[in-house]
Chain A
Amino acid sequence: MRKNGVNMIKISAKNVDVFYGKKQALFNINLDIEENQVTALIGPSGCGKSTFLRCLNRMNDVIDICKVQGEIVINDFNINDKGCDVVRLREKIGMVFQKPNPFPKTLYENISYGPTIHGMAQSKQEMDEIVETSLKKAALWEEVKDRLHEPGTGLSGGQQQRLCIARAISVQPEVILMDEPCSALDPIATAQIEELIDELKKEHTIIIVTHSMAQAARVSQRTGFFHLGELIEHGSTDKIFKNPDNTKTQDYITGRFG
């Protein structure tokens, strides 16, 4: 979806501040996320990149003391408005977590849960189709098609994470947020997930938080660098890694700190 060679803006964060109690965790973040691109958020631990990610589907609501200020506009709608329905929002914006967290239910139930609560399938047949396509898109179908009714917790770590991705895409979200999706996985499983991310960006906008700069360089087109709650620099991944404007970015990329 290009318009005059420029990618459409999917999410636009304006002046976002986040507080945990009295402590400010994010300072005046302004960031545009482009549609059908992979945007990587990098930075040292505790820099606020996960916090920012969780702002995008209002998961910070779960934390009592967390307060988000500023505007986050998705599809011309500010999700921090009082009128925003989080259930609808999270249907449009899926999330994959750091540690694989499948429901302790069968594989089938894991995938069908989202479509069920959002009333997306009218019949068992439709649901079967949704489950199959989701698993196929998550490159898990071939491995699990014979044991759809076994518990999802019985899979290996990498399979579990792909199951979680399949679960997230089962409701056809426009955006998928990934919070260090590979940090609990071995290199082979990581490679599989990275390949998958590349595939998924055709239909979804992806924002991935990662600790691994190599991963950011491999999978993303855009990169944002966070440090101490501030967005230091953002732009195309090529530029950030090869020719950053800011010396802090330079230092982090070259491994001088972090």
Chain B
Amino acid sequence: MNKNKEKLLAKRYSSEKRFQFLGKSAIFMALLFLAIFIFKIFSTGYTAFQKTWLIVPVNFDAETMYLDANPSKEDLEEADYFEISLQSMFNLDKNANEKQQNELKKMVSYFFEREIKQELINDPSLLGKTKDVYITASDDLDQVFKGNYPRDLPENQRRVTDYQLKIFDQLVEQGKVESKFNLSFFTYPDSREAELAGIASSFMGSIFSILVCLAIAFPVAVLAAIYLEEFAPKNRFTDFIEVNINNLAAVPSIVFGLLGLGILLAVFQLPRSTPLVGGITLSLMTLPTIIIACRASLKAVPPSIREAALAMGASRMQTTMHHTVPLSMPGTLSGTIIGLAQALGETAPLILIGMVAFVNTIPGSPMDPAASLPVQIYIWAESAERGFVEKVSACIMVLLGFLIVMNLFAQIIRHKFEKKWS
């Protein structure tokens, strides 16, 4: 009898130990995957925050630019920079033949002419002098400098030629290649050239979409939740509505994309590819999330508070607006932020309403065409150039950072403002 008891006890302890072990291994696995994921993203992405520049001496020769000795500002704007830009590249190797000259030109981004022009406009006194100018290297050389380029491939299998590599190595030796913080990644819109591509357009697109989404979803959802929870009679019809709100939350997002395409674009003729349409589409998706969060936090307000207010002679409206709703706000707001964070990461519906278009302008309002961060990731991930690989990871980092900040904000609201019930 006693022995049996001992055995049973040992069994109970060992089963608890087994359970704890399994739980710990599950958590360990989850953390491991997370660590691998983050390591992979960071190790591929961090180089995107650096950009390679070639330092090229440029001769700002007034004659070549068809300028007189004292040009006005307009003259400087309209001058011909192409010739001096081309010349300064050709000067890297004075003995280059025509084919090699062409290769020299391709060592820098096609923005080089604009960069040289900016230099002179910033400092007109350079006219007639020679100065070292920072010029954005081509994406392939950028990758070479970062050590991501397979230099040992046979020449016909890579885009950088042996000649370009030779000149580039010479420049590196002379200290004429520099790596600096890649500001243009944040300030430039998308581009077909990896070295010039930035997230400004998609970042602004995401912000505008989220704002439109918030402006529509939040008031509608909160009003719906308050009415359903505090005022609506509990009957079959409201049960039916409740079930369908829960169903709505489970609808795949691409379906909302089709809805946006079929109704907002086709019927209402709203401008396609814009954050306005994106935001409305996303708001349909966020609506049930906010309704559910708001109803849950309204339900969490103890009935004793409502009774206290009602017994003081407050009307139902006063009870709701003075007590229940303010008390439910922290939960509602953090639910809203979680819903928006979900919407922020949504890709499929935005692709359907055309926010996948190549946009090389920065949107100034929700009515301008734009991409969004997740769609930008999708576009870049599809691109063949090696330079976009790191950009994809960098863009993911920005998106994750955005999401982490939002979730942190939700947590803070929840912990700081949520009332503790006595």
Interface size on B, residues (CB 8 A): 23
Q: Tell me the chain B residues, 281-315 only, with Cβ under 8 Å from chain A.
A: 302, 304-315
Q: How far in angstroms is the closest Cβ of chain B from A61?
A: 8
The 8 Å CB contact of B307, one of A100, A101, A102, A117, is A101
Provide the residues of chain B in CB contact with A59, threshold 8 Å: 307, 310-311
Q: Does B422 contact A (CB under 8 A)?
A: yes
Task: Tell whether A117 pairs with B305 under 8 Å between CB atoms, given A59-B311, A87-B313, A90-B312.
Answer: no
Task: Please tell me if the beta carbons of B310 and A99 are within 8 angstroms of each other in the complex.
Answer: no
The 8 Å CB contact of A64, one of B233, B305, B308, is B233
Q: Does A239 contact B (CB under 8 A)?
A: no
CA distance A168 to B313 in the complex (A): 10
Q: How far in angstroms is the closest Cβ of chain B from A65?
A: 9
Main secondary structure of the interface of A (DSSP, over half): helix
The 8 Å CB contact of B309, one of A103, A118, A164, is A103
Task: Please tell me if the beta carbons of B313 and A90 are within 8 angstroms of each other in the complex.
Answer: yes
Q: Tell me the chain A residues, 15-31 only, with Cβ under 8 Å from chain B.
A: none
Q: Does A167 contact B (CB under 8 A)?
A: yes
Q: How far in angstroms is the closest Cβ of chain B from A119?
A: 11
Residue of A nearest to B235 (CB): A64
Provide the residues of chain B in CB contact with A171, threshold 8 Å: 312-313
Task: Please tell me if the beta carbons of A101 and B318 are within 8 angstroms of each other in the complex.
Answer: no
Determine the interface band of chain A, counting residues with CB < 8 A from chain B. Answer: 20 to 34
CA distance A100 to B307 in the complex (A): 11
Q: Does A124 contact B (CB under 8 A)?
A: no
Q: How far in angstroms is the closest Cβ of chain A from B328?
A: 12
Q: Does A153 contact B (CB under 8 A)?
A: yes
- Interface mask (A146-167 → B, CB under 8 Å = 1, otherwise 0): 0000000100000010001001
CA distance A54 to B314 in the complex (A): 16
- Interface mask (B309-333 → A, CB under 8 Å = 1, otherwise 0): 1111111001000110001000000
Task: Please tell me if the beta carbons of A62 and B306 are within 8 angstroms of each other in the complex.
Answer: yes
Q: List 17 A-B contacts (CB under 8 A).
A: A59-B310, A62-B306, A87-B315, A90-B312, A94-B311, A97-B307, A97-B311, A99-B304, A101-B307, A104-B305, A104-B419, A104-B420, A113-B309, A117-B313, A153-B422, A160-B422, A167-B308
A residues within 8 Å of B by Cβ?
Answer: 57, 59, 62, 64, 86-91, 94-95, 97, 99-104, 113-114, 117-118, 153, 160, 164, 167-168, 171
